[in-house]
Amino acid sequence: MGFRHILAEPNVHLNTPFESPDMATEATPGDDLEQQSSRERRSTRRDSRRSRRAVLATGAGAIAVASAGCLGGGETTTEGDDGGDGTADGDGTSDGDGTGDGDGRDGDATTTGGETTTARDFPDEVVIGSIHPLSGSTAYTGTRTHQAIKLAAMVANENGGIESMDGAEVTVIESDHKNDPSLGAESARELVDEGAHVLTGTYSSAITSATATAAEGQGVPFVIDVSTAASILQERQFDYVYRTQPNSLEMARNTITHTVAAADQAGFDLETVGLFYIDQTYGQSLRDGLRTAADEAGLEIVDEESIGFGGTADTQVTALRDADPDVVIPTLFPQQFMEVVGSMQDQDYWPPIFSGAASAGFTPDNFEQIGDTINGSLSTGFRLDPTSERGQTLSGRFAQEFDTAPMESNQAMAYATAEVMIAAFEEAASTDPEVLNETLQSITVEDHVMAMPPITFGPDGENENAIAVTNQIQDHETELVYPEEFAVAEVDTDKLVTR
């Protein structure tokens, strides 16, 4: 079966061991704050910051944002704690850091007719630091994901920039982490030193974990765009780190829930599960999530198989066939996906239900290579909202602007993440990291491009409304079938169950 070795574009996370850097710094005795380095000023801010959980525990009201207000139409609405209009720092009071860097500082006061007004001195730009793999094995996806951040900035600037800051331009600066966790942490430090007010990335769970530690040490918000492992935010406490996408446990739960619902529709009694995962951080995190989700649903996992980079799948497929689960759930990169499917077809084996969990490889090119066998299969993950006219228009513009394929799921999530960061600048009316961080703690972005409810962050930094949607392969096309609010097609129950 020669098609097994026809590869999709590289889409590989490298699980490189790393040590989390110690980012603590001390101010030099006797230095004036104005003469301190930017790193020393960040250390001073860290000493006085409040934890995210402490701020949220005060009952701060959510800031509801229709993000099209700064990204191409719509309105921005706010709801303040004190019954006011909820605008942030709009009166030029001294809520900033007072360092004289053009934002959050005292304005120039003028008196007219006995009344004093204060004018704010806003920066010319707000800066997003984008950390992705721009070279190496994941350069194709990493570059496209970075380009999605750039497109969001372009759209915002075309619509007047950050209006609350007198039209400040949204600028994106980038760093290539090259799939090296130490470079991810280094990139965070360098981009902040170059002027980044907020960071995003990284398309690798291992690298995101290292970058999160560095960003936390810098005292600068880091909004994760694409990284799956739940452990990033669930096993450590951060005050400056957020994630827009569903984590591995949430995606696993959505996979199991939607697969069981589809089986019920087809009148099929689903009881047993087989897992096949890539043996590195991404695959292991989904495996762990699927174990939990299967147990919660009363399902039995009868076999677990894994594959490494460059590995073969014949032996594992034989074991999976012998275990005979009702559903096989792959979590694989494109190369391994095609290796596994090829081995299954070589052995004339296909499970009753085939349902991917955040699994790459469900692409039209691969469908053509696999043939009709793939029809009826399910695939769960986040994706661009197919019912959103704006999202489809942006996807087309993305392809034209960067001479590449239209947006896929990773690029759409990166764009939505940029929407959140830009909305935070708009609401904060400041580039001060503490003000931005407090804004991110309570912001709600309602109008974004993903098939997902409004984005809002909980005490742990996770998007409280994050969901993964489920698609079914119908005539070699991916049609969204769950949840109902985003569905564009019904489950084809005749094709879902193969035997």
- Read off the pLDDT of each residue in 342-351 and give the average, rounded to a whole number: 97
Residues 138 and 235 in one domain: yes
Q: Are strands 477-482 and 115-119 parallel, antiparallel or unpaired?
A: unpaired
Give the residue from 269, 170, 297, 181 showing the smallest Cα distance to 232. Answer: 181
Q: Name the most confidently modeled range: 5-9, 362-366, 406-410.
A: 406-410
Residue 209 sits in the same domain as residue 343: no
Distance CA 467, CA 251 (A): 7
Q: Is the pLDDT of residue 37 over 80?
A: no
Determine the distance from the C-alpha atom of residue 310 to the mean position of all C-alpha atoms in its chain, rounded to a whole number.
Answer: 27
Q: Is pLDDT larger for residue 185 or for residue 111?
A: 185
Per the domain annotation, does 185 fall within a domain? yes
Is residue 423 within 8 A of residue 439, CB to CB? The reply is: no
**Does residue 102 have a pLDDT over 80?**
no
Q: Phi, psi at residue 371, to the nearest 5°?
A: 95, -165
pLDDT at 298: 98
pLDDT at 39: 39
pLDDT at 219: 97
First to last CA, the chain: 23
User: Residue 121: which pLDDT band, with cuts at 50, 70 and 90?
Assistant: confident
Q: Containing domain of residue 163, as a range? A: 125-245+386-456
The pLDDT value recorded for residue 405 is: 94
| Residues 245-254, mean pLDDT to the nearest whole number | 98
- On average, the pLDDT of the chain sits at 82
Is the same domain home to 280 and 182? no
**257 and 369 share one domain:** yes
Residue 11 lies in a domain: no
* Residue 306 resides in a domain: yes
Dump the DSSP string for 198-209.
EEEE-S-HHHHH
- Tell me: do 377 and 390 sit in the same domain: no
Average the pLDDT over each of 81-95, 107-121, 217-231, 271-285 and give the range with the smallest value: 81-95
Based on the domain organization, do 308 and 431 belong to the same domain? no
Contact 488, 387 (CB under 8 A): yes
Q: Are residues 202 and 260 in the same domain?
A: no
Q: Are residues 353 and 484 in the same domain?
A: yes
Number of domains in the chain: 2
pLDDT of residue 80: 29
pLDDT class for 46, splitting at 50, 70, 90? Answer: very low
Q: Give 114's pLDDT tier (boundaries 50, 70, 90).
A: very low
288-329 pLDDT, tens digit per residue, is 999 999 999 999 999 999 999 999 999 999 999 999 999 999
Asked whether residue 239 falls in the same domain as residue 323, the answer is no
In this predicted structure, what is the pLDDT of residue 497? 96
Please give the residue that has the higher pLDDT: either 79 or 178. Answer: 178
The answer to which of 61-65, 312-316, 412-416 has the lowest mean pLDDT is 61-65
Q: What does pTM read for this prediction? A: 0.78
Per-residue confidence (pLDDT) for residue 363, from 0 to 100: 87
**Is 295 among the domain residues?**
yes
CATH code (residue 283)? 3.40.50.2300
Name the band, by pLDDT with cuts 50, 70 and 90, for residue 385.
Answer: very high
Q: Please, what's the b/e burial string for 314-351 (b: 16 or more CB within 10 A of its CB; e: otherwise)?
A: eebbeebbebebbbbbbbbbbbbbbbbbbbbbeeeebb
pLDDT at 239: 98
Assess contact for 107 and 92: CB atoms under 8 A: yes
Q: Is residue 70 part of a domain?
A: no
**Bridge partners of residue 86, in order along the sequence:** none
Domain presence at residue 43? no
According to the model, what pLDDT value does residue 52 have? 53
| Candidate from 73-87, 128-142, 161-175, 459-473 with smallest mean pLDDT | 73-87
